[in-house]
Chains A and B, each alone.
Chain A
């Protein structure tokens, strides 16, 4: 019976996590890729590559429809699209241009400087390069190697970026909320 089931290859479309993730986030990933690449063919290529990277990290996704998974998917797709964009620019012009001017995906939420929201305001003000590494390493708890694969950099660069991102957080805390706040988290 087992072998019959194996040979029959009935794809349990709704049962497997990969299908759930794809069905839930395909539109979002395509939107992110289109925003960056502004080309249908390239966006489809980036979408495939993004999902391949997501599927490699499926075990990290505990709940498919959560904001944690949603942001994880966006980070991966944005970095994949950016990587593809740089490759395209290099291919067509023989040199890498400066970081492309990107339209924001949406209007960032505004945080009032209420207690407990200081760090959230600081995070909102951070550039994506720092936000991504902080998210993957601290929030998603990925290893240096896994984060490096997703960001398309070396594990050493991940450690360096993380160090700089934390320094940037502390610097922003100091600038916006004073020495006391800086000392609190130092």
Chain B
């Protein structure tokens, strides 16, 4: 602890009173007119005094900050750096024989208990309607087929908590004609997309559920993504 003497304490109090009177006698401050060169230097000094100057003070630093942010986003989304992705659930893709892949969904740590809440996509491609959907809820799993004019797709929703209670791992075996399924992020959720000429398959997970979309290859991938984003 700092040693403060009696004199120091008294001086501090005395200074307060002394400077108050002293400052009252000082000439008034206020604005000042400087020569253009001095003014430019002063403005530069003022800009440099800002707290964020070391980070964003110059155009080069601003550009560098934006590039760094884009680089981090690129790593998270495109290069799929594990630690930068959201959520506690993760997806792994394993290469099997005959152009098949196993997608395993795992949950890191202990899963907190929760009630199963049914979720359905609010967006459907043109020609599809909820009225034409057929499906079931069985042992805390939703499985629905959406029938369109020419094609169809299926949607399932599984719960980590209830699946793990049953002791089942959450796995999907998908066939992708040799094109390895791609890991990505959709609406802030981890996802795997597998495409082939005749069908498309999406596996998306958040911290509670795994959603599975699979259907005709005639439905564009962008439509599947819109369906996935609308699940609520």
Query: A residues touching B (Cβ–Cβ < 8 Å)?
Result: 3, 6-7, 9, 11, 16, 18-19, 22-31, 41, 44-45, 47-48, 51-52, 55, 58, 67-68, 70-71, 74, 105-109, 117, 119-120, 122-124, 134-135, 138-139, 166, 169-170, 184-186
| A28 with B26: CB separation less than 8 A | yes
When A and B form their complex, which 9 residue pairs have the shortest distance between CB atoms, in order from nearest? Answer: A119-B14, A28-B29, A18-B49, A55-B49, A67-B23, A139-B15, A109-B21, A27-B30, A26-B32
CB nearest to A185 among chain B residues? B7
A-B residue pairs in contact (CB < 8 Å), sample of 16: A7-B66, A11-B47, A26-B29, A26-B32, A44-B38, A58-B49, A71-B23, A109-B21, A119-B18, A120-B18, A123-B11, A123-B14, A135-B19, A138-B11, A139-B12, A169-B7
Chain B, 1-43, CB within 8 A of any chain A CB = 6-8, 10-32, 34-35, 38, 41-42
Instruction: Provide the bound-state CA to CA distance between A169 and B7, in Å.
Output: 9
* A120/B45 contact (C-beta < 8 A), A28-B26, A31-B27 known: no
B62 on the A face (CB < 8 A): yes
Instruction: Provide the bound-state CA to CA distance between A31 and B50, in Å.
Output: 26
Chain B residues lying within 8 Å of A108, measured Cβ to Cβ, are 22, 25
Please count the residue pairs between chain A and chain B whose beta carbons lie under 8 angstroms apart in the complex: 133
| A107 with B15: CB separation less than 8 A | no
Q: Tell me what chain A mostly uses at the interface: helix, strand, loop, or mixed.
A: helix
Instruction: Provide the bound-state CA to CA distance between A3 and B48, in Å.
Output: 19
Q: Tell me what chain B mostly uses at the interface: helix, strand, loop, or mixed.
A: helix
Chain B residues lying within 8 Å of A9, measured Cβ to Cβ, are 62
A164 to chain B, nearest CB (A): 14
Instruction: Provide the bound-state CA to CA distance between A20 and B16, in Å.
Output: 22
* A24/B10 contact (C-beta < 8 A), A19-B46, A67-B19, A109-B21 known: no
